[in-house]
Chain A
Amino acid sequence: MTAPRLPVRTRAAMFLRLLAVQGAWNYETLMGNGIAFAVEPALRLLPGGRGGDRYRAAIARQNGYFNANPYLAGLAVGALANAELSGDPTDRIERFHTACCGPLGSVGDRLVWAGWLPACSLLALMAFGLGMRPAGVVLLFLGTYNIGTMALRYWGLHAGYREGLRVASALGAPLLRQGPAQVARASALLAGIAIPLAVRGVIGPAHEALEIVFAAAAVGAVILARFNGRVEGWRLAVVALALFILISVVR
């Protein structure tokens, strides 16, 4: 049995619900409830409709433990909707539910959290450093980030529903295989340009202090890089700035 073509209204409802897939994120089921919430509009098409036995059984299956990157969760949502509507065996659906957490988490995290987000952030910081107006910087950041992530969410839902439980092949798409490395290279290039420009943008007219600031920041960056994640720089910065404030007040 093949899954029926989803009505546009159902697809739209699933897509909108995907935006809230982490709305009930918790340490017991992680985003499991969100997955059931996002699949639910498709499950109304099951024989017996909303409240029917198959509908209730499917909802119960989907709201268990689940984790993935939120921007790639659409792949799982689409695939699970297809599997339920196709009448795939329950044990296969449950195995898929468990098995796809890892790949969807690691691929999505590398592509979005460690790739696309820093790249968009650095692009906007570069625009700030070059003197772009506040509205322009914000729109540039939000525009680039959301064009990418909305497209990813839409593609994920579409590809997941098309492939069903064979969706693992979609994870081999060139975007997901080579995308993180390409975005990392772009981020490195942007970082080299954006960070010095942003530092100058914040310093403002006090350009005589720039050389000292760059030198001190570079030394600090090298030290933090050598710790390679064992120390969180922002926590050290809180302590350093609090001490700086204290000295300024009491001296």
Chain B
Amino acid sequence: MMTLALGLIPLTLLGAVLGLDVVSFPQAMISRPLAAATLAGALMGRPGHGLIVGAVLELFALETLPFGASRYPEWGSASVVGGALFAVQPSGTPGALTAAVCAALFTAWLGGWSMVWHRRLIARWAAGMRDALTSGSCDAVTGLQLRGMTSDIVRGAIMTWVALMVFVPLQNAVLAQWSFTAIESRAAVVICAGAVAGGAIWKIVHTTKGTTWFLLGGLAGGSLLLLVT
């Protein structure tokens, strides 16, 4: 257990940085699943495995756009968890992708709650500094900003480390008892991801005039590419 805890330090640091990118700084979308899971896979020596998890999670993430004060899943640290869990399993292990994606989705869900708690914490700090802020203290403004970002890094690190500490042994236990074939397992994940992405895209674009034809045109092009590539 001690070895596992120490071995997770590089992934924890990556999760911390990517957790910060989600909202606080710099919102360059390194925290989106395609990038974050691939980076986690690369850290484990298998960027290709990370990219596969990243692509699946990205399909889910199309549904959850980070509008202002709304509650949404936190994909940064969750994608690090998913990418790392899939990358440590041997290629072709039945159920490895299913377990990794499910763990990442749970982490993203909890990560969303951790962001709510973090925002409440900053509000408490801001209330405690109200006199300094209303008197125009630059130190108070800068101090609150730095505290917010520092605590967000810590939040991302804790999320990643705790999730990996729970899901690494759990994944091993689950995969030891796995009974579906590799094809069935992947199909289950991809059906869910494809359905969510399809529904999400319709939700985003259907209010704009003429988009149905663009979507149908794209589907025709996509089908053609499936045949020729």
Interface of A toward B, CB cutoff 8 Å:
19-20, 22-30, 33-34, 36-37, 40, 50-51, 55-60, 63, 67, 69-71, 105, 109, 113-114, 117-118, 120-122, 124-125, 128-131, 134-135, 137-138, 141-142, 145-146, 149, 180-181, 184-204, 206, 208-209, 212-214, 216-225, 227-229, 232-235, 237-238, 240-242, 244-245, 248-249, 251
Contact = CB atoms under 8 A, between A and B. Distances in A.
A225 B198 contact: yes
Contact of B185 (A146, A219, A248): A248
B8 interface: no
B172 interface: no
Q: Which interface residue of B73, B119, B185, B196 has the most chain A CB atoms within 10 A? A: B196
Contact of A20 (B26, B198, B212): B26
B188 A137 contact: no
Interface in B133-180: 133-138, 141-142, 144-149, 152, 174, 177-180
Contacts of B126: 24, 26, 28-29, 33
A221 B194 CA distance: 7
Contacts of A141: 29, 32, 34-35
Interface of B is mostly: helix
A51 B138 CA distance: 8
B63 A137 contact: no
B103 to A, nearest CB: 10
A180 B220 CA distance: 24
Given A192-B221, A209-B183, A217 B26 contact: no
Contacts of A114: 65, 204
Interface string B177-215: 111101101111111111111111111111111111011
A105 B205 CA distance: 19
B68 A109 contact: yes
Given A27-B120, A109-B67, A212-B187, A228 B203 contact: yes
Contacts of B123: 26-29
B188 A244 contact: yes
Contacts of A193: 218-219, 221-222, 225
A91 B229 CA distance: 63
Contacts of A36: 141
Contacts of A251: 179
A58 to B, nearest CB: 7
Given A26-B126, A134-B38, A146-B28, A188 B23 contact: no
A114 B207 CA distance: 11
6 contacts: A22-B27, A128-B51, A130-B225, A192-B220, A234-B73, A245-B174
